[in-house]
């Protein structure tokens, strides 16, 4: 276990385990550990099904060895698609990047686009934000 500062980030699909580190509960001695959460059998089957469908579509399109640009809004659907493409990239010889659009329609759009960019990077993808 390692000690971390007041703020830290950790990968999706992980749990942060916090222990007091000292019987007194002294905050300065707290310890943190990030552990992966393995998918359940049902989740693993769903992941395999989506990977099969996306991988099959990419193969039919002849994407092997080329680039794929995934439109990433930050919602569940586009995030799953981006994650699956990132997982398939090595197997299919793909270069996968994420495209994030900030339409400028809402004041918080820029901050949301920055958060989505960080989510893409956490998936191992280069990300472009277009305003």
The end-to-end CA distance of the chain, in Å, is 41
The topology under which CATH files domain 41-130 is Rossmann fold (3.40.50)
Model confidence at 1, pLDDT cuts 50, 70, 90, reads: very low
- Residue 15 reports pLDDT greater than 60: yes
The residues spanned by each domain of the chain are 1-38, 41-130
Mean pLDDT value of segment 79-107:
94
Cα–Cα distances (Å) from 25 to 6, 7, 28, 55, 110, in that order, read: 16, 19, 9, 49, 40
Convert the pLDDT of each residue in 45-92 to its tens digit. Answer: 998 999 999 999 998 988 778 889 999 999 999 999 999 999 999 999
Q: Kindly report the average pLDDT of the chain as a whole number.
A: 84
- Nearest C-alpha neighbor of 81 from the set 108, 109, 57: 57
């Amino acid at each position: 276990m390692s000690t971390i500062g007041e703020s830290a980030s950790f990968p999706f699909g992980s749990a942060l385990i916090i222990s007091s580190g000292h019987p007194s509960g002294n905050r300065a001695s707290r310890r943190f550990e990030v552990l992966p959460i393995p998918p359940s059998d049902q989740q693993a089957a769903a992941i395999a099904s989506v990977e099969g469908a996306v991988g099959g579509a990419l193969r039919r399109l002849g994407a092997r060895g080329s680039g794929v640009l995934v439109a990433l809004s930050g919602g569940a659907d586009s995030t799953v698609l981006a994650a699956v493409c990132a997982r398939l990239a090595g197997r299919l010889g793909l270069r996968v990047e994420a495209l994030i659009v900030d339409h400028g329609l809402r004041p918080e759009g820029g901050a949301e686009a920055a958060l989505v960019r960080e989510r893409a990077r956490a998936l191992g993808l280069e990300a472009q934000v277009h305003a």
